[in-house]
Amino acid sequence: MYGVLRLTMQATHAIRQLVEKALYIKQLTPDIENEINYELTRLGYISDIDYEALELLMDEMDAGRVQLVSSRR
C-alpha cells in the first residue's frame, strides 16, 4: 500500500510542479498544459490541493499575470 500511496503522491506532486512552473515563467505553454492534462487523465481524479493549485493558475490567467501561449503551427 505504501508504494501505491507514494506513486499517487508523486503524480499529484507532478501537477503542482507543472502549475508552479507556469506561475514562475508567467506562461501556460502547450507543453505544460498537455502534461497537466495527461496527469489528470492518468490519475482519473483531482485532489483538493491540485484543484486549488489549478484554480490559482486560472485566477492568475484571468488577472493577466500568466499568459496562455498558443502553439506555433
Dist CA 30 CA 60 (whole Å): 17
As for how many domains the chain has, the answer is 1
Contacting residues for 32 by C-beta, under 8 A, at least 6 apart: 18, 21, 22
Q: Does some domain include residue 73?
A: no
The string of pLDDT tens digits covering residues 10-25 is 555 889 999 999 999 9
Q: Which residue has the higher pLDDT, 4 or 54?
A: 54
pTM of the model: 0.79
The string of pLDDT tens digits covering residues 19-44 is 999 999 999 999 999 999 999 999 89
User: Residue 21 carries which side chain, given as an amino acid letter?
Assistant: K
Dist CA 61 CA 31 (whole Å): 16
Which residue range is the domain that position 15 belongs to?
A: 2-68
Sign of CA dihedral 46, 49, 53, 58: positive
Most distant CA atoms of the chain, gap in Å: 44
Q: Does some domain include residue 17?
A: yes
